[in-house]
């Protein structure tokens, strides 16, 4: 059986040689730990060494909003490119947001930004698998006893008009795939009641105001005690804050947020 698998891998390598998801260069087989990893089951395994160096991991960040803590980074010797310790920023200490935590795998720059944009544009399964594996690296760190056992995964909903104009939500697919990968339940707990301009087209102040009051709980759904909101990119945090507030008002005891990348702007 092992010989057959080795031969099958060799044939696949010849017919469809693995290539870097970012630059398209062929990956050297001797640096790939396993064929399964090339298919997206290992974060970083689908990138060449040069593009892997351009992945920027999050450094010390606020536990409640995910903002980069520059003072802590300087004190601890972390750059924005290293995983690190988390605490609270001054704003969250003074006025805690409704979500209980925010975890971000990457900084929204370099190769991470390129991969997210490529996924949003194409919806390709190779990009999806890569991003999900980075979410898994954060999801597995969530203790099961954080308020009601295993969390129910919830994506950020779109208004029906947005679905017509922009097609299927890549973020919803990302959340559902992540839930499946973790063996958790995914439910559409929220709905978006009105159409709003795209967040990316607005300045910071408008982004914070744009989504106020537009999300609501689906009345037919009894909210679970622990919800995990999953999205692709977090910028101002307005979307996560609004959705978490609606879930808490509906009776959810704990809301955690996991995103692939955090914008530093």
Q: What is the pLDDT of residue 16?
A: 57
Cβ atoms of 159 and 232 within 8 Å: the answer is: no
- Crossing angle for the helix pair 125-139 and 110-122, nearest 10 degrees? 130
How far apart, in whole angstroms, are the C-alpha atoms of residue 115 and residue 255?
A: 27
On whether the CB atoms of residues 260 and 131 are closer than 8 A, the answer is yes
3-state secondary structure of 41: helix
Alpha carbons within 13 A on the beta-carbon side of 100: 16
Is the Cα torsion angle 203, 128, 121, 38 positive or negative in sign?
positive
pTM to 2 decimal places? 0.79
Q: Return the H-helix or E-strand segment holding 31.
A: none
pLDDT at 197: 58
Q: Structural domain boundaries of the chain?
A: 61-262
Structure tokens at 93: 């200490």
By DSSP bridging, strand 226-234 and strand 86-87 are: unpaired
CB 237 within 8 A of CB 65: yes
- Orientation of helix 170-182 relative to helix 110-122, angle to 10°: 110
- For residue 265, count CB atoms less than 10 angstroms from its CB and return exposed for 0-12, middle for 13-18, buried for 19 or more: exposed
Confidence class for position 246, pLDDT limits 50, 70, 90: very high
| CATH 2.70.98 corresponds to the domain 61-262 | no
In tens, the pLDDT along 55-113 reads 888 878 888 998 888 654 554 444 444 444 558 888 999 999 999 999 998 999 999 99
pLDDT of residue 213: 75
Predicted pLDDT at 196: 66
| Nearest partner of 177 among 253, 216, 124, judged by Cα | 124
Residues 6+ apart with CB under 8 A from 53: none
The pLDDT value given to residue 218:
87
For residue 28, what pLDDT is reported? 67
Tokens of 240: 């996560």
């Amino acid at each position: 059986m092992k010989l057959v698998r080795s031969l099958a891998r060799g044939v696949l390598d010849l017919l469809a040689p693995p290539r870097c998801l970012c630059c398209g260069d062929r990956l050297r087989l001797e640096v790939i730990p396993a064929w399964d990893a090339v298919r997206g089951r290992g974060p970083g395994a689908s990138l060449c060494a040069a593009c892997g160096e351009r992945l920027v991991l999050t450094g010390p960040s606020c536990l409640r909003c995910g903002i980069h803590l520059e003072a802590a980074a300087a004190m601890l010797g972390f750059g924005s490119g290293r995983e690190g310790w988390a605490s609270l920023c001054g704003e969250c200490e003074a006025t805690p947001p409704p979500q209980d935590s925010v975890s971000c795998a990457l900084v929204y720059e370099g190769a991470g930004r390129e991969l997210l944009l490529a996924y949003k544009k194409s919806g390709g399964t190779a990009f999806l698998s890569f991003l999900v594996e980075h979410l898994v690296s954060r999801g597995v760190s969530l203790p099961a006893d954080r308020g009601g056992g295993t969390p129910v995964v919830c994506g950020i909903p779109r208004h029906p008009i947005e679905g017509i104009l922009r097609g299927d939500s890549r973020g919803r697919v990302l959340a559902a795939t992540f839930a499946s990968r973790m063996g958790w339940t995914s439910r559409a707990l929220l709905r978006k009641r009105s159409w709003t301009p795209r967040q990316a087209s607005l300045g910071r102040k408008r982004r914070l105001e744009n989504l106020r009051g537009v999300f609501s709980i689906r009345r037919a759904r009894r909210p679970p005690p622990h919800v995990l909101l999953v999205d692709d990119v977090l910028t101002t945090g307005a979307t996560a804050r609004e959705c978490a507030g609606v879930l808490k008002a509906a009776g959810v005891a704990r809301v955690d947020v996991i995103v692939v990348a955090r914008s530093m702007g």
